[in-house]
Structure 1
Amino acid sequence: MNGRHQAKRGWFVVQLFVWTAVLIASMTIAIMLGPVRIHPEQVWNIAFSHIPFLNGWIEGAGTKAQEHIVWNIRFPRVLLGGIIGAGLAVTGAAIQALTRNSLADPYILGVSSGASVAATLVIIFGAFRFLGTHTLSLSAFIGSLLAMILVFILAKVGGEISTSRLLLSGIVTSMMLSAATNFIVTLAPNADGIRSAMYWMMGSLTGSKWEHLTVPALIVASGTTVLLFLHRSLNSLLMGEEAAVTLGVNIAAFRILLVVITALMTGAIVSVSGSIGFVGLMIPHIARMMTGPDHRRVLPLSMLLGAIFMIWADVAARLVLAPEELPIGIVTALCGGPFFIWLLRRSTYSFGGNGK
């Protein structure tokens, strides 16, 4: 038994190493591709030349134009895509554990839609400016938190919350909030505001800058770290509430904590990228297929796979209709839609195996 455990652990370490290498390769290729092609050696020469204590040792970083393209345009965009993909995947894994259903994600449960309502009010009407420099991020977080609370209120009947009611409440809430977002857009005072809001609602990394990375990176890293520390509690939820209580988990308090963490992460992500669906649905499921249900392994693998997927989705969004650019949400939907249908066609889709 101990030998099997060691073998599984060794295989997981190999997986982490391989997918980390794939992530680095994906970042390099994504930065290389575009109207101006950059050699891979130049990509990292330029990157290292901006790191203190290393810039004096790096030569041949490229021309000023190449340096500007790589460091100021493509690098922050690729990094932001990786952060967003990792955050959405981790959030999806947490919500799926919370609901004990692999069909759940921030988009389906209405969390992204709640963040979109608040963020659209900021974009079009400049609402909530009293929140200061991080108005968009804070507003998106508040919107996502309120949406998640509403979902739980609607799903709670007789003091209990079932998985099916939670999913149905999430779908209804998402539809209502999406309608509210569309109504807000129709009230925009000019066509430019409508176009900006609609493009943002479909998800985009256009205009990514280094200053856009700080808040989502810190929140995604902090949220993922907390969830990793809570992996035993997440695992116990998969066995049912009674089993979790037996193992010493305070279900009510743990649910509240998960709601706050997932709402905070979703709000931070939506504030910089818009509403991007299906990533939190697909990636955790793929990670569990590769490594099993243990969240100590699912969370880091989901983080890597989510980052890789989002980087390539953004590459497709940039290049498929170049020089025009697709909203990245369209690309993720084209990938996630068939995956969602495949999940529905399976005989069971819940962790408990009963489909409820």
Structure 2
Amino acid sequence: MSFVALLILLVFVSAIPLGLALWLKKRYKKTKFVLFALTGLLVLTQTSVWLYDVSGMQAYNHYLQIQTFLNQPFTGLRQVGLTRSKGIIALSYMSEGLVSYAMQNPARKPEIIALLKKAIAIALHPDISPYQNINNVASWGEEGLYLSHFNVMLGSYQRLSGDRTYLQLNRTISEHLAQKILAAPHNNIRSYNKAQDRWPADNAVTLYSLYLFDKNNNSKISLSPIQKWLEYMETKGSEPKTKLHYSELTGIEKYSPYPRGCALSWTAKYMSDFAPKEARDLWSNYKKHYQKNFLIISAFREYPPNANINPDADSGPIVFGMGAGATGLALNGSKYVGDYLTYYQINNLFRLVDLLANILSSFGDKKWQTLTQDILAISIQFNAETKVPWY
């Protein structure tokens, strides 16, 4: 987005509270001074948040945190307080972000290539990888989530470096995943050996990793899997009324028949590259049925209002129906589909939470202190902040 377009967006966002103040001033004349003072403060705050992002300072601060994480010895997942699956997700998100950041800052390319190598090495650590030997194809089983995110990391490394060190492994994983999607029920593979679920959101990552391999190497491995997956999701994998993807396709979970916010935010990000039109349509329907706007901030529901389902590790806390996971991941979904107004509304919410976390952590609250150092949250934000087209 150009500077002029961003300036227009800022004026539009700032006009919301200003318009409200003018309306209230006309109706309640005695409140004029207070209303204009509050509006001025709101516009100033919004401008500072916007400039913090557009100037690159926000991304730079997150880059320094990621750089520190990757440069220190990795001693296991306890070091970062993540599960095995969230560990590989964090590494995948940060790898994409690092590539985009290097494209915007070419002088940092050599150091970022070195960081990507370290990220790949960490992804092979026994605490994260389910395999003793990643080259043993016979042992791969049904670990679709790990293989897909690891494949994204390999493709990200090749995109930036041009180095073919991991090319054969990248190709083997891509061919393996493509064959599994074509042969799988629902054209969706499983994410874990120990779970029979078939989550479309995780398969969106799989397809993106194949698409990235094809773009890097001028091949066509992804074409048929993408076509089959899109056909299934449109005809059988979506709720007829909302046209939103079901969260799980086998029906074995209580939430299976419902579209989930965290899954839709996630899916929009990855679909935006390999199926941009379908991603925009999905995002439009998602906003129509799940988004709630509160002036300069925005949030997304985790479930439709009629669903009575408790929060879980994927949804995070759910407050008045609004999901932390759905809203947080929508930072990437909105940026990737080009919905900059929603992106800045959610970015405002992130900055508000960051401010609260920093204030409370300064008083010794360990829970909030941990939040300010959460490498998964940092990687998700960095990925969104740095997003630029790769091809």
TM-score by length of 2: 0.27
Tell me: higher relative CO, structure 1 or 2? Use CA pairs within 8 A at least 6 residues apart: 1
TM-score by length of 1: 0.29
Write 1 or 2 for the structure with the bigger share of helix: 1
